[in-house]
């Protein structure tokens, strides 16, 4: 199980509160990511809203995490106590997960090992990547369907073998300092981040048994299913992953139903596929969709949020995860975790 071990530069005045909230945050992550039933005293005493299939992913004002012998009255009083952190408008106990989108991709070339190394350096605990299968069936990290934008190659990525793709430069387009970065295989990525980051694997394709290939890579890297999240826009992909490995938490990436449309069938479908979360573009999120997701026991992640004010706004709305190209900024804004050089 990963721990919150990223670099944390705190002011002395906030260290106690932040240490406590880090503990809560860690607790929240474990439960949101693994969907294990929450074992904390708070949940056992019914102080949190239970979220079926997602652990207690709602509020983490949980003083009994520190003192399992605490009295109920003390616990309730502590739950009500206001908490103040710099740059944070909402209670940090409710801070969403922060997921580095394609790595620390604002600064480093997306979906390369350099982008994940930077995300780790900045203190990120989760990072997203995009997966296609090569012509010879190897899962690799890549976002676009074509090679042009982010490499010196041309054409659809699925047309090329791994050997060909490994010849390409996937770093120079971003910055000459990253010249020579290559397209990583999923196994290479998993081994590079193991023990440091929880991978969020977005499966882009939907054919050639890509789900089985991704699971095979996880086994090859000896990566526990509970430490991973699988995302996809394709319903059949998340549905199949849940059948192949029920321990792998899945997130269905969606466009919310139109206002006035009956959302019932939509949420029933999500639950039938046994997803633990939904993902939406942050500008498509409405309070009613978020509420309905939570009422259905689903977590809600939003992408791609790179603006500090918007991060705070979404945290205040109660989203469970923010996917960002700027994990250092999100860590500072949402958790008061200072990282050198952040420009809000």
Closest approach of Cβ 99 to ligand G3P, in Å? Answer: 7
Count of positions on this chain that bind ligand G3P (CB under 6 A):
11
Position among 110, 202, 239, 325 found at the interface with Ca ion (CB under 5 A) = 202
Position among 303, 322, 328, 331 found at the interface with ligand G3P (CB under 6 A) = 303
Residues 144-203 that bind ligand G3P (CB under 6 A): 202
Closest approach of Cβ 144 to ligand G3P, in Å? Answer: 9
Closest approach of Cβ 182 to ligand G3P, in Å? Answer: 20
- Residue 130 engages Ca ion in binding (rule: CB under 5 A): yes
* Active-site pick, 143, 234, 282, 294: 143
Binding site partner of 103, from Ca ion, ligand G3P, none, Cβ cut-off 5-8 A by kind = none
Per residue, what are the HEC states of the chain? CCCCCCCCECCHHHHHHHHHHHHHHHHHHHHHHHCCCCCCHHHHCCCCCCECCCECCCCCCCHHHCCCCCCHHHHHHHHHCCCCCCCCCCCHHHCCEEEECCCCCCCCCCCCHHHHHHHHHCCCCEEEEEEEECCCCCEEECCCCECCCCCCCCCEHHHCCHHHHCCCCCCCCCCHHHCCCCCCEHHHHHHHHCCCCEEEEEECCCCCCHHHHHHHHHHHCCCCHHHCEEEECCHHHHHHHHHHCCCCCEEEECCCCCCCCCCHHHHHHHHHCCCCEEEEEHHHCCHHHHHHHHHCCCEEEEECCCCHHHHHHHHHHCCCEEEECCHHHHHHHHHCCECCCCCC
User: Considering beta carbons, is residue 202 or 332 the nearer one to Ca ion?
Assistant: 202
Closest approach of Cβ 160 to ligand G3P, in Å? Answer: 20
Indicate if 143 belongs to the active site. Answer: yes
User: Considering beta carbons, is residue 62 or 201 the nearer one to ligand G3P?
Assistant: 201
- Residue 110 engages Ca ion in binding (rule: CB under 5 A): no
Position among 126, 253, 270, 311 found at the interface with ligand G3P (CB under 6 A) = 253
- Residue 279 engages ligand G3P in binding (rule: CB under 6 A): yes
- Residue 21 engages Ca ion in binding (rule: CB under 5 A): no
- The catalytic site residues sit at 101, 143
Footprint on this chain of ligand G3P (rule: CB under 6 A): 101, 128, 130, 143, 202, 231, 253, 279, 303-304, 323
Footprint on this chain of Ca ion (rule: CB under 5 A): 130, 202
């Amino acid at each position: 199980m990963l721990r919150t071990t990223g670099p944390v530069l705190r002011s002395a005045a906030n260290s106690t509160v932040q240490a406590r909230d880090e503990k809560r945050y860690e607790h929240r992550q474990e439960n949101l990511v693994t969907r294990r039933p929450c074992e904390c005293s708070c949940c056992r005493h019914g102080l949190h809203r239970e979220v079926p299939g997602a652990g207690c992913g709602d509020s983490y004002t949980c003083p009994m995490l520190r003192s399992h012998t605490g009295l109920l009255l003390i616990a309730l009083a502590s739950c009500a106590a206001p908490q103040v952190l710099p740059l944070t408008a909402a209670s940090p106990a409710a801070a969403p997960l922060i997921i580095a989108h394609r790595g620390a991709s604002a600064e480093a070339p997306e979906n390369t090992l350099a982008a994940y190394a930077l995300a780790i350096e900045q203190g990120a605990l989760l990072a997203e990547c995009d997966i296609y299968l090569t012509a010879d069936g190897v899962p690799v990290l890549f976002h676009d369907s074509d090679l042009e934008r982010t490499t010196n190659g041309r054409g659809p990525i699925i047309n090329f073998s791994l050997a060909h793709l490994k010849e390409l430069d996937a770093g120079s387009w971003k910055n000459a300092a990253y010249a020579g970065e290559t397209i990583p295989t999923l196994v290479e990525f998993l081994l590079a981040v193991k023990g440091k980051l929880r991978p969020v694997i977005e499966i882009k394709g939907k054919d050639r048994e890509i789900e089985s290939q991704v699971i095979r890579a996880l086994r090859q890297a000896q990566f526990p299913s509970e430490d991973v999240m699988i995302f996809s826009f394709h319903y059949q992909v998340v549905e199949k992953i849940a059948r192949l490995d029920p321990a792998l938490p899945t997130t269905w990436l969606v466009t919310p139903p139109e206002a006035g449309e009956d959302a019932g069938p939509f949420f029933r479908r999500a639950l039938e596929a046994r997803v633990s979360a939904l993902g939406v573009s942050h500008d498509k999120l409405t309070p009613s969709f978020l509420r309905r997701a939570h009422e259905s026991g689903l977590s809600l992640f939003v992408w791609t949020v790179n603006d500090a004010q918007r991060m705070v706004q979404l945290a205040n709305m109660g989203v469970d995860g923010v996917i960002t190209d700027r994990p250092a900024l999100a860590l500072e804004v949402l958790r008061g975790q200072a990282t050198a050089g952040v420009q809000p």
